[in-house]
Amino acid sequence: LRCGMRSTKCQLLVTSLCVMLLGLSIATLSTVTHYGLHFTLISNISLHSNAYRVIHHTAFYFGICLSMTLILAALLSSAATVRESQCLTAMGFFCFALAFCGLIPAACWRYTHSTEVEDSMMDVYDFVYEEVRRNTSSFRRHELTAIHEAFLCCGKHSPFGDTTNVENKTCPPGQVHDEGQDCLREIQDFLKKHMDFVFSLLGVAIGFTVYGMILTSFLWFSIHFSSNLYRKGKYILR
C-alpha cells in the first residue's frame, strides 16, 4: 500500500505541474484573445446586434475562471501530496471535477457550433464593408481600413459589381485585390487556426483533469486505509 501511495504521489506531483502550466496557458490565451488587435477591432465595432462581442467577452471570462480553477486544483493536489491530507485531497478532487464540468461543455460547444465564431466575425466585416460602399461614411471607412491593415487583406469579392473605389480608399499600400486576398477568406483562415489551437488545448486539459481526478481519489483512499492500518494493533494498558 505504501509503495502504491508513493507511486501515486509522484504521478500526482507531475500531473499537478502539467495542470498548472495548462492553467497558465489558458489564462495567457484568453488574455491574448481578449486584447489582441484582430479580435478587439471586430468586437469594438458598434452595431445594433454585434453577436461576436458577446462571444468575445464570454470567452475571456470563462477562460480566466477555468484557468484559476485548474491552478487551484494543481496547488491543492501538490499540498495534499506533500502533507498526505485527506481534506486537501478531497478539495483537489473537487477542483478537478469543477474544471472538468467546465471543459466538457466548452468542447461540446466548439464541436456543435464549429463556425459560429467565424460567421459572427465575417458578418461584422460584411456590415462595415457595405456601409462604406453605400455611403462612404468616414467613421466606417476608418474602421474598414483598420481591419484591412490588421488582417493584411483587401476588400472582398462582391456580387454588386465594381468595388475598386472602396478598396482604393481603405486597403493598405501594396495589397492587390486581384491576387485573391479576400478579407472574408483571410478572417476565416485566421480564426480556424486559432480555434483549432483552442480546441486542442481544451482536449489536453480534459485528459489531465480526468487523470487528476483518478489520482486524487486513489490518493484519498490510500491515505484513509494507510491511516487505519497504522492505528490497527495498538493497545492501551490500563
Per-residue pLDDT at 235: 44
pLDDT at 236: 52
Average pLDDT estimate for 191-211: 92
CB 128 within 8 A of CB 145: no
Give the closest residue to 209 by CA, choosing from 16, 7, 64.
16
Closest by CA to 153, choosing from 167, 136, 138, is 167
Question: What is the pLDDT of the chain when averaged over all its residues?
Answer: 83
Structure confidence at residue 162 (pLDDT): 52
C-alpha dihedral (109, 110, 115, 120), degrees to nearest 10: 70
Domain boundaries, the chain: 8-128+182-227
**C-alpha cell belonging to residue 92:** 483537489
User: How many angstroms separate the CA atoms of 98 and 111, rounded?
Assistant: 21
Is residue 3 pLDDT above 70, yes or no? Answer: no
Enter the C-alpha cell of residue 15.
500531473
Predicted local distance difference test score (pLDDT) of residue 137: 65
**Is 105 in contact with 51 (CB distance < 8 Å)?**
no
Residue 135's pLDDT band, with cuts at 50, 70 and 90, is confident
Q: What is the pLDDT of residue 153?
A: 84
Residue 93: CB atoms within 10 A of its CB come to 22
Q: Quick count: other Cβ atoms within 10 Å of Cβ 218? A: 17
Question: Among the residues of the chain, which ranges form H helices?
Answer: 2-35, 37-43, 51-83, 86-112, 116-135, 138-151, 164-170, 183-231
Is 33 buried (19+), middle (13-18) or exposed (0-12) by CB count in 10 A?
middle
- Here the cell at position 13 is 506531483
- Average pLDDT on 92-113 reads 91
- Residue 114: pLDDT band (50, 70, 90) is confident
Position 1 scores a pLDDT of 46
- The better pLDDT of the pair 154, 68 is held by 68
Q: What's the pLDDT at 229? A: 42
Q: Which has more pLDDT, 103 or 50?
A: 103
Supply the pLDDT for residue 175.
60
Taking the CA atoms of the chain, what radius of gyration do you get in angstroms?
Answer: 26
Cα separations in angstroms, 213 against 100, 119, 233: 9, 37, 32
> pLDDT tens across 19-52, in order?
999 999 999 999 999 999 999 999 988 777 788 8
Burial of 49 (0-12, 13-18, 19+ CB in 10 A): exposed
